[in-house]
Amino acid sequence: DAGVIQSPRHEVTEMGQEVTLRCKPISGHDYLFWYRQTMMRGLELLIYFNNNVPIDDSGMPEDRFSAKMPNASFSTLKIQPSEPRDSAVYFCASSLGLVIISEQFFGPGTRLTVL
Amino acid sequence: AQKVTQAQTEISVVEKEDVTLDCVYETRDTTYYLFWYKQPPSGELVFLIRRNSFDEQNEISGRYSWNFQKSTSSFNFTITASQVVDSAVYFCALSSFRNTPLVFGKGTRLSVIA
């Protein structure tokens, strides 16, 4: 299997621009997670889906952030408008079943820099 | 509330030394799982181990060993005879039936010097 695929791997944008991060989970996995990693806050869960349905988005920082999962093989995390404090590494992860019974596989991450 | 504390922010050891990474967790649930992940300089997160709350047996995998003690709410990770390739950030994480996603600690950056 190809593993969790994220694109782009690196994104540099200017403040105010819209940013879209993409994720393809491992085929057959029914849970998808979006995390953000910063030096200050560590790894934070932003939102997760089960069978394409958002289950918990309480970690989404503010209305500028939105996530969708239109089908089982694709998810996006959008930031509009982007701000310098959004600079971070964004990870997508997927699992087959609940995390407590199934390993969570992480993608390589997208390093976002907002100037 | 669920919480994972990794008090050691950074550790530096000389190659071949043993090193223990501490992890203390908080949860009200009786059924939970504990995890360790490794994040090498390349950035990806690599799964190392998952233990459930009913199994307190220590586990050894090569140079890696884990000590789970419910009495102290700790799940410590020891690397024996460390190698330069062990240099990475190591994360401890917690999940339970009532809180599906992983709750991560802040991580411990381990530097192994040749």
Subunit contact A99:B95, Cβ cutoff 8 A: yes
Output the DSSP codes for B4-69. EE---SEEEEETT--EEE--EEE-S-SSEEEEEEEE-TT---EEEEEEETT----EEETTEEEEEE
In whole angstroms, what is the distance from residue A42 CA to residue A21 CA?
19
- The tokens describing B7, both together, are 């008090």
- Mention every residue, 6+ apart, whose C-beta is less than 8 A from residue A19: A11, A13, A78, A79, A80, A82, A86, A112, A114
- Substitution target from A43, A53, A92 for chain B, most B beta carbons within 10 A: A43
Q: Is B7 on the interface with A (CB under 8 A)?
A: no
Per residue in B42-101, pLDDT (tens digit) is: 888 999 998 889 888 888 889 999 999 999 999 999 999 999 999 999 999 998 876 668
**Chain B neighbours among A 59-88 (CB < 8 Å)?**
none
Report the residue of B37, B39, B45 to disrupt the A interface, i.e. the one with the largest count of A CBs within 10 Å. Answer: B45
Tens digit of each residue's pLDDT (9 = 90 or more) over A39-52: 888 899 999 999 99
pLDDT digit string (tens) for A2-26?
899 999 999 999 999 999 999 999 9
Q: How far, CA to CA in Å, does A114 sit from each of A36, A51, A83, B49?
A: 14, 32, 6, 35
**CB of A105 closer than 8 Å to CB of A93:** yes
Report DSSP state, residue A13.
Answer: E
Beta-bridge partners for B21 = B77
Query: With contact defined as beta carbons under 8 Å apart, do B97 and A100 qualify?
Result: yes
